[in-house]
Amino acid sequence: MTLLNELPTIIDEAGTYLTRSGDTVRIHEVKQNSNPETTSFDAKGTVRYLKEGNFRYTQKFNIWHVSGRLSVFSVSEHDIVSKKMITLQ
């Protein structure tokens, strides 16, 4: 079993990221883990998604591990997988 602290860092600064399901996350704060021997969820932000059967976006505050994982126990559709690239027009 791979420990979260052994996974690559995806969330390295405040900014806009994407989840596995394609939703947008705005990370507001990333704290430095003071003890690398522990697993901590140091990235705080808001995920924006469409609720099923609803035509309006819903926002939910969450915390993530810097690897992008939302949970220590399982993979989630709300795991962060990459930074969102901004396209200039």
Q: Look at residue 46 and tell me if it is in a domain.
A: yes
pLDDT for residue 37 = 82
62 located within any domain: yes
Question: What is the reported pLDDT for 58?
Answer: 78
In a domain, 41, yes or no: yes
Question: Which residue type sits at 51?
Answer: K
What stretches of 1-89 adopt beta strand conformation (E)? 15-19, 24-30, 43-50, 57-64, 80-83
Task: Report pLDDT for 45.
Answer: 96
Whether the model pTM is above 0.75: yes
CB neighbours (10 Å) of residue 76? 16
The mean pLDDT values, 10 residues at a time, for the chain of 89 residues are: 86 95 93 85 89 74 95 92 81
pLDDT of the residue at 46:
94
29 is in which domain, residue-wise? 4-83
User: Within the chain, how many helices (H) and strands (E) appear?
Assistant: 0, 5
Residue 40, number of CB atoms within 10 A of its CB: 16
Cβ proximity of 31 and 23 under 8 Å:
no
Residue 88 lies in a domain: no
